[in-house]
Structures are given as structure tokens and as C-alpha cells.
Structure 1
Amino acid sequence: MSNILEAHNIVKQYATHRALDNVSVSVPKGSIFGLLGPNGAGKTSLIRIITQITAPDEGYVLLDGQRLKPDHIEDIGYLPEERGLYKKMKVGEQLLYLAQLKGLSEKQAMEKLKIWFKKFDIKTWWTKSIEDLSKGMQQKIQFVATVMHEPKLIILDEPFSGFDPINANLIKDEILELRDRGTTIIFSTHRMESVEELCDHIALINKSKVILNGSKSEIKNQFKDNSYSVRFHGSLDSLPSDFEVISQKNIENNLNQFNIKLVGDASVNQLVGHLINQVELVSFHENIPSFNQIFIKAVGGEIPDEVGSIS
């Protein structure tokens, strides 16, 4: 899979603060790429360099194999976390204006907008002022402004912020449809449940450096601890030293849950064999850490003591 975007050894210094320290990331074409990190980690600085709001002090960015240049702005759609619409302008005239800034003619813009206004059921909003719309309605308009020129790369910074669940699902479906049509999306968020659901690849920035980078499955495999969650009826009296009981609890009556780690060369089949000789198995699955757990551990904490998800 080739890359739509590559950032190579990016350094950005603001006075005494180094916002990005030799940061390199590659974003595969046609993927949803999660750009993650705690507040102040450097995510926004990297996005500003990609969108040419600012320039790196060292390093360079390639877009579709070419060094980033001013006319690439037409190939990128950017939805910032701090929304920025002209409050006094009408919805229609504002979207036509923004579309033409992105290289569309007025006729092309009208054709695109008719499709989006029908899709979002907002045909009556054309003559409304932005200031008369709710926050969620304004965000719909800004999403349309971000994607209507059909850019190769779309950067979404906390796109679900302020949306109710129905509209959040609407935007999520549009993001997935854009990905399925070949658009690449960089998705910056603190909502790890959205990362689990949407992202194909991730990069985690912490203290100005990339500390995790890869496909979702690769990252999860890095953080697996070779443990399994087991629920059973009965009493588990003993296991060989090849199996370590990490935690155990009684769920209800005679239903118990154990987290058991394989030690050394022990196999899953061996564990199951020992279990079925002693108890009645109800469920058995590998503990796969959630991205919330991975985030916490990677930036300096410990993985919370909870059962992992099935992957």
C-alpha cells in the first residue's frame, strides 16, 4: 500500500518549546489514520505544517510523492477543532465562497452543494445566517465545507465534538463512505472509542515525539500480555506453574471469572485441557487491550485492571 502523506524528521521549535522533535509518520492511501496524543503533545503543530499554516524548522512533507507546495491546498480538506465560520454570512453564500477558494467554479460548487444539502436534509438552510444555527448545525456546514471539493486528504480534528448521537453517527457514516471511495482521512481525537471503531492505522505523539506508529492490529499485538479471560461454573483448585492466575472474582452464585496468563512455552490448548478437567467452561477469550488502555500505558501509566476486548 502506497502512502498519500509522508512527514520526514519534522522539527518545530517555538521559543524555548520544541513542539515536534524529529517526527516521522506515513499515512497509507485510502485509510483512516488516527493521530493521537495528550494535550500539548504536538498533534496540532503537525497538522498546521501539513496544512501549510506554518512551516517546519527541519524536515519535509510529501503529499502523494511530491514535496508539499502551495497549490496542494486544493488537495486537502481541514476541519479544525476550533470551528471558523463567518457568523453574519448566509450558509449558501459562505459555502460557495469557500468552495471557490478551494478551486471550484461557482457552477461546480452548486452541483456539489445540491448533493450535500440533500444528503444532510438541510435544503432550507441556504438563506439562514450562520449565527442563527445551533452549534451542531454549524458543524454540519463546516463538515460540508471541508469535503465538498473532494480532496485527496481530509484532516478532521475532533469532528464529533458537540454532536448529538444521531448526527455523530451521520458524520461517522460519511467518513466511512469517503474512505471506501478512496479518500484518505487523518483523524485527530481524544475519543478512544472512535479510534477503535474507525481507524485503520494510528500514530501516538507524546512529548513532541512519535512513540507508537502502525496498523491497529500491530499496535494491539505489541501490548498483548498473553493472558486469557475465562468464565466457568465450578471450583478451579489448581493449575501448573505454566499458568499464572492474574485475577479472579465470583460473578454470581457458582459463576467465576479468572484472568490467566500463559508462562514460558505453555499453549492455549494446554490451558483449556487443564480447565475442562476441573470446571464447566462458559466463555474463553484472549485479553486484547483497548486503545484507551494502550494510550494510558504508552504515555506513562499502567494498563487499567480490566478484561480486554475480543479482537
Structure 2
Amino acid sequence: MAPGNESTVSEFLLAGLTQQPELQLPLFLLFLAIYLLTALGNLGMVTLIGLSSHLHTPMYYFLCSLSLIDLCQSTVIIPKMLVSFVADKNITSYPECMTQLYCFIVLAIAECYMLAVMAYDRYIAICQPLLYNVIMSPHVCALLSVAVYIWGITGSTIHTGLILRLHFCKTNVINHYFCDVIPVLELSCSSTYINEVFILLLSTINLLFPSLIILGSYIFILSSILRISSTEGRPKAFSTCSSHISAVALFFGSLAFMYLQPSSVNTMGQGKVSSVFYTTVVPLLNPLIYSLRNTDVKIALRKILKEISFLHLNV
């Protein structure tokens, strides 16, 4: 049969994170808690930024966008993952699998570039504070956000389009807990050479380019911080950026481990563990990191809670 969109495989079975029966219930409860906390944290961050007028700045605009990406990312991955812990067979149809794969890639690429945009925003704020409102105008912020999502959609369309042309006739068991690119390619009867080339090419671009922006931004930020004469100013500036660095290191590190290793080196067991970080752990940690290490967020949260308490007392 000629390669094309048509496939003899109409549905896939997701193998899940582990096949050990004694771990199924504990892992279900763990990832259910992670998902609920992730949804609560990111929705809370979006709501807090929306309700607090003094947080209507470029920094928090991008943080709000990051929270939305993380919320969508966890929603795309975790609910289907939970099914594998409680169901005998975690079945996903071919269209459903391709949809999950497409959405995952869009959000993963978008997060890479949103983190880069946030690093650039911090560079302008710390190194060129007098020009900050001019450079990071609402128009520029909107253009940067639109560019992030357009590139995410473009990259995902390329990957998904190349997968749709493949012919699947091998086993329909995907050795993963969601429809990721590499595990799906392993089931193809067609040549995946072009797919592998584009995975390496686009993964390198989407990891290297944002990483260079982030690295360059923080080199200038570090240089600027070291020139601060006040000993009290340095810890404050370091604290402002340290949370971003932590999130970036975890996210990019786990992505690079999954997508930039040769297939002969990277086993799927290692890939599952690595993917847990960028699909579940990072979306959980981002709102915690940014809220717990950010004075403005704490002040805004206390103010909102006081207003809610005041309204309850007057009801």
C-alpha cells in the first residue's frame, strides 16, 4: 500500500508510564494531585494578574501567557495519562492521537520562546530601565506573544504533517504515556528519515535559539548586577532572575535530554522519565517559583485575599 494519510492502524494503545501493578494506584493519586495543583496554581496566577492593576506590566503579561501555556500543556497530557493507571487498556483513536501530538508540540515550542521573551524582558528592565516602557510597549508585547504562538503552530504543523504521510502497519502499542513524536515514529512501516531529520533540525533550532537569547540576556544582566554599588540591590536583582533561571534550566534540560540524543543512546524508559519533567513537573513548579520568589505577587495576593474577606464580612 502506498504511503499516505491512510493507515491500517485506526487506534493506538498507550503503554503508560509503568507496567508494575503495585505502582498504578500511587502514581494515579500522585499525578492527579499534580494536575489539580497545576490547574489551581496556573489559573490562580492568571486570575491574580488579571485582577491586580499594578501587575498589568509586560513582565506579568508574559507570565500570564506562560501560565496559560502550562495549564493547556498539563491538560493535554495528564488526563489521558491518568487513564492508563486505572484502565486495562488506554485506547486512543488515530485522530485523537494526532490531535494530542499536534497540541503538545505547539505548546512545547511556545513555552521555549515564551521563556526567551521573558528573559529579554528582564534584560531590558535591568540593563535599560529608562527605556523599558518605550521598548516593551503594549504593541511590542502583543507582537512578541503572537510571534511565539505562530512559530509554535508552524513547527507543530510541519511535524504533524510529516507524520500524517506515514503508513502504520506494525504493532499499535505506543511505548509512552502520550502520543509523542519519537514513540509514534517507531510504529511506522514507512521510511522515517525525513521525519528524523526535521526532528533534529527543528529541535536544535527551538532549543538552541531560545537558549542563546536567554544566555545572552543573563550575561548582560549579571554584568549589570555586578556593577550595582548597593549591597542590598544585588540580592534583590538576583532574586528577581533566579526563579526564571530555575524554570529555564529544568525545562530546557529535560527537553534536550529527550530530543537531542541519538536514538541508540536514548532508551524510551529514560525518555518517559525525562518527559515527566517538561510535561508535568515544570507546569506545576512555574507558578510556585514565580509566586513564592516574587514580592509583587505576594502583595497582590494579600490584597485580593483582604478584599475577599472584607466582602464576606459585609455580606
Verify same fold: TM over 0.5. Answer: no
With the length of structure 2 as denominator, give the TM-score of the two structures. 0.23
With the length of structure 1 as denominator, give the TM-score of the two structures. 0.23
Q: Which has more radius of gyration? A: 1
- Which structure carries more strand by proportion? 1
